[in-house]
Chains A and B, each alone.
Chain A
Amino acid sequence: MSETDTPPGPAGQLVRTGLAAAFRQRRIRESSRHFWKAAPILAALGLGLAAISLWAGWAAIPALGVLGVGFAGLMAYTLVRRRARTVTDAVAAGIDRDADLGGELRSAAWFAAHDTHDAWTDFHLDRAAVRLDAVNWLERYPAVRAPRAKLATSVMVIAALGLSMTMTDRGRLSSSPLKANAAADAAPLVPGQPLSPELQKQLADLLLAAELAGASTDARLTASAELRDLLAQLGELRDSEALKELARSMSANPILSDQMSKEMQALAERTRRASETAAMPPELRNALEKLSDNLSIAAAKEMDDSNDPVAAANAQSGETAKSKADAPSSASIQSIQDADAGAGAGMIMMSDENATPGGDPGLGAGGGSAAANGGGTMPDIAKALRQETVEASADSPGENVTTDTRHDTEHGSATITYTQSAPGAFDRSRAAAPPPVPEGRRSAVQTYFIRKP
């Protein structure tokens, strides 16, 4: 028997080629299987993210990004898995096992990859090449069908894209009020123009729907979604400059102004009530609350301006706030009802920044001092809140309780009577939200009344 060191003969080449083809087919199948295992999960992730984004009002970018990057990564992984690689002994053993060749292919692969061969090795390689050629690798490694995975992936990707497109449309509409919806098309909201009756009506309808939809989740969601759209359009009302423009435009038309101010005041009140609806999402309640504030301010300004043309003129020069400060009737009154406070716990704080040193200084920060009010420890708050009232809750006081204590004395007996106020029962139905605080002063008020630890 002769043993040579020449390269493998034709049989060895056949074994190598056949093994490489089988390995390629196996890689394709494995990568496809991995792809269709991961694709539904990825699509579900994208769909879930799109749904969450839609619910939370986020942009469509995260969902689309996850889908795009995920599938791009999956494709890259698939391509990497499919690229040509060296056939190792483990690979040959795996293919041998898959083809049920009883170890012949594994052994032949090793001999084909090495130079040493003899008559027995050649015979072994010849037979292995024949057996390898007889194997139909397309049958051994058929293409992955995965119909359910493909269907599920397609449906979820389409759904995710649909949701993302919906979000994109909403985003586009929110950035362009002219295209918000049919009502907005009819009466676009433009700074400097009064709030159109159509828009007021739509807002009122939606508020009504939101108020009445507490029992139905679907209806609540629908109303909430529509409210979000509308609030997105009304977003610019938060802009103080836009509000001034709105007030100026309304004051220019006395007839319309009076009617509009009442309507807007009513609308602000409804918006405020809607913002207190527990069934609404928190962010929607905040938005409604801000809108209510804005509408109140706009209505108040419009009313002031219609009564005081000078103030209206001053409003154009930015001195409206100062002129209104002289009128006690226009002062903002804050009534805070502390339902959990103890009986009789009530405090009224009033301040008048124009009080003379000898006069009634009123209550409040810096009151009673020779210095002008507002010069105390929190002048900014005193300045912002010209007149504030903190009232005890009407629910708090309980009935007076009289307690008599008798005891003997040297001269007989004595009676001592104590009178105290019993804790009152809190009637939640009587609780009402305080009047709206202007947006510009909200942060100061919140900071002022927060109990420091």
Chain B
Amino acid sequence: MTSAAVGPSIDLFRDRFVRITREVGRRIVGHEEVVNLTVTSLLAGGHVLLEGIPGVGKTSLVHTLADVLHLTFSRIQFTPDLMPADIVGTNIVQEHSHGGTFFEFQPGPIFANVVLADEINRATPKTQSALLEAMQDVSVSVGKTTYQLEQPFLVLATQNPLEMEGTYPLPEAQLDRFFFKLKVTYPSEESMHEILERTTTDSTTPVTRVVDKPEILEMRQVARSIPIARPVQAYAIRLTLGSHPTSPYATPLVKRYVRYGASPRAAQALVLAGKIQALNRGQAFVSIDDIRRVALPALRHRLLLNFEGEADEVNTDTIVTELLGSVATE
């Protein structure tokens, strides 16, 4: 690629990004930031944990996104009796026409481009862990065979923050594999009007497929090509290190309430998401503001609170916000 081709590729990226978010927005009222960051995560190759009370449109968002992106979609409703084989698939015994039997792998619902793991915290840790390999390596292992999942692969998990009885909080290892944790908030009064007008009338809002699989993969490649200056990258690293209580960049809240800070995956998420944000602005460079814009969804689920933090019901958003305010940008 020459420098002359960079400009058009940036424009194309931006155009596709805008088309995706605009098309999703035709069905999903409000939540522009959630849609934007979900698409960002998809283009960065990450997965998203959606948290919100029931009925705010989490599942609709995932459905709509799959439709707009022209990707295969599957939904897994996590329950306490859900088994790993129910997710990744299993070998079943088949009979040859001429007699005899053999095992044949029956793929589970994980074999899709967009997987909705609904109420993921209702399944047991054993079942939740079935997603670990798929989310990290985009592959699943059944028996002695490893099956590659098709790219793009995006897991959108939802969880209800209210009902904690009978749930199994996600282990830190799994939480760390989510690129972003997005909070789907209650819609505003104006948005409620729009939701009711769209869902309680005879008319339906169809969405069109604006991009396809190759285009998404191309966008991913473009996103990784954008350069990032060392000082900006250093800021992302300082933010990540600052979430550790023993770090020199740690803030008072971090020192008091955090047991373990964010992993290097957080820094990767910050930089990658920052690059996509920059492209979305039509720029060929990553700025400090791009990093700061994605810091909250990239860090909030990666902070492990200590006992005092849990007892005081400290919100990790508060800690990250303080971190953003104290870590030097220069």
Contacts and interface: CB of A to CB of B under 8 A. Distances in A.
Interface of A: 1, 89-90, 93, 102-104, 106-108, 110-111, 114, 118-124, 126-128
Given A103-B288, A104-B287, A123 B6 contact: yes
B1 A1 contact: yes
B44 interface: no
9 tightest Cβ-Cβ pairs between the two chains A and B: A103-B287, A123-B6, A110-B229, A107-B285, A122-B3, A107-B229, A123-B3, A124-B284, A119-B3
A301 to B, nearest CB: 83
B2 A89 contact: no
24 contacts: A1-B1, A89-B231, A93-B231, A93-B330, A103-B289, A104-B283, A104-B287, A106-B232, A106-B288, A107-B228, A108-B285, A110-B229, A110-B230, A110-B231, A111-B227, A119-B1, A119-B3, A119-B5, A119-B6, A120-B3, A120-B284, A124-B285, A126-B3, A127-B284
Most buried by B among A93, A123, A126: A123
Contacts of A121: 227
Contacts of B151: none
A162 B232 CA distance: 57
Interface string B227-254: 1111110000000000000000000000
Interface string B270-305: 000000000000011111111000000000000000
Most buried by A among B5, B6, B7, B290: B6
A125 to B, nearest CB: 9
B6 A120 contact: yes
Contact of A120 (B226, B287, B288): B226
B329 interface: yes
B225 interface: yes
B3 A107 contact: no
A89 B232 CA distance: 10
A119 B1 CA distance: 7
Contacts of B330: 89-90, 93
A118 B227 contact: yes
A376 to B, nearest CB: 81
A145 B285 CA distance: 37
Contacts of B285: 103-104, 107-108, 124, 128
A122 B5 CA distance: 11
B289 A123 contact: no
B287 A102 contact: yes
A283 B295 CA distance: 73
Most buried by B among A103, A110, A111, A127: A103
Contacts of B231: 89, 93, 106-107, 110
Contacts of B6: 119-120, 123
Interface string B88-100: 0000000000000
B287 A107 contact: yes
Contacts, number: 65
Contacts of A119: 1-3, 5-6
Contacts of A103: 232, 285-290
Interface in B300-330: 329-330
A118 B1 CA distance: 9
A126 to B, nearest CB: 7
Most buried by A among B6, B229, B231, B286: B229
A4 to B, nearest CB: 12
B230 to A, nearest CB: 6
A104 B285 CA distance: 7
Nearest to B230: A110
A227 B217 CA distance: 98
Given A89-B330, A93-B330, A120 B289 contact: no
Contacts of B7: 123
A120 B230 CA distance: 15
Contacts of A114: 230
A87 to B, nearest CB: 13
A120 B227 contact: yes
Interface in B131-154: none
A108 to B, nearest CB: 7
Nearest to A118: B227
Given A111-B229, A123-B284, 9 more contacts: A1-B1, A93-B329, A103-B232, A104-B287, A107-B286, A110-B230, A111-B227, A120-B6, A120-B284
A114 to B, nearest CB: 8
A102 B290 CA distance: 10
Contact of B225 (A102, A120, A122): A120
Nearest to A101: B287
A108 B287 CA distance: 11
A82 to B, nearest CB: 22
Contacts of A124: 227, 284-285
Nearest to B221: A1
B261 to A, nearest CB: 25
A108 B5 CA distance: 19
Contacts of A89: 231, 330
A114 B230 CA distance: 10
A108 B228 CA distance: 10
Interface in B1-32: 1-3, 5-7
B219 to A, nearest CB: 15
A302 B61 CA distance: 120
A102 B284 CA distance: 12
A4 B1 CA distance: 13
A114 B329 CA distance: 20
Contacts of B289: 102-103
A452 to B, nearest CB: 65
